[in-house]
Amino acid sequence: MTGVPAPAAATPDHIGDPVVGQAGLWNIANLLTMMRLVLVPGFVMLLIHDGGHDPAWRSFAWAAFAIAMITDLFDGELARRYGLVTDFGKIADPIADKAIMGAALVGLSALGDLPWWVTGVILFREIGITLLRFWVIRHGVIPASRGGKLKTLTQGIAVGMYILALVGPLATLRAWAMAAAVVLTVLTGLDYIRQAVVLRRAGLAAQRERAAARAKPPGEAGLLAAVDADREHEPGVERRRDAERGQDLERERDLEREQRSSPRRQSHQNG
């Protein structure tokens, strides 16, 4: 006995997060999420302060953005590992993620530092995939892939480099980083669509099978299952079947012998 209570067994909830009971609202994971939400307006103010082109204020904005992205790496992991998953966290966490990234992209495009089409592609993908998850949630959960995690990391690095007032080779490097982020954004978005279609088809097929089972006459499905179970588990079934087959063969042989001997007996009697 160590005096430390063992954690309760975790069971997945309706969207796949392991839940140990229901944690309170004020836990470390939710506090990190709330901090990210609070950082969004502060980040925007720092980004656009003094016309949005002061290197010092852009550095402060980058620091706020970096804190938000770092906390995003920890709040979900803490919630799952220590049973701190709550309904608030499941709703607020993706909102905080999209809010900080969306604010950075829109702010940079408004300042003329980032093309609007880049912002449009990334935001369309992020919002679309979020809606897609809700569309198929009753059939199952689309798990986060390695490509999706790499996309998030690449986006964070690229956007962070654009927030800083970089010049020269670093400005060229951030353009390549953003190009890689856009490519990963599109590719992972297409992969999520593929997974959603497969998941929905499987879910609809399972629903049709359940509907067909319910449409059978009452007791038929259970009776057939019981008969099959008895056949599979009853001892000596195969032996009895073999014996019956042997008896059938023996009767057939006797019948053949009798048929062959009948003409002989008739010929003897006639003679």
Q: At a CB cut-off of 8 Å and minimum separation 6, what does 80 contact? A: 17, 18
The pLDDT value given to residue 86: 78
The pLDDT value given to residue 12: 42
Query: Is the whole model's pTM more than 0.75, yes or no?
Result: no
Task: Say how far apart CA 75 and CA 136 lie, in whole Å.
Answer: 25
Instruction: Classify residue 165 as exposed, middle or buried by CB count within 10 Å of its CB (0-12, 13-18, 19+).
Output: middle
Long-range contact set of residues 178-184: C-beta below 8 Å, sequence gap at least 24: 178/114, 178/118, 180/154, 181/122, 181/151, 181/154, 181/155, 181/157, 182/118, 182/121, 182/122, 184/147, 184/150, 184/151, 184/154, 184/155
Helix boundaries (H) for the chain: 28-48, 55-81, 87-110, 116-135, 146-163, 169-215, 220-233, 237-270
The pLDDT value given to residue 218: 57
Low-confidence stretches of the chain (pLDDT beneath 50): 1-20, 224, 235
Contact 179, 155 (CB under 8 A): no
List beta partners, residue 146: none
The pLDDT value given to residue 137: 78
Task: Say how far apart CA 134 and CA 138 lie, in whole Å.
Answer: 8
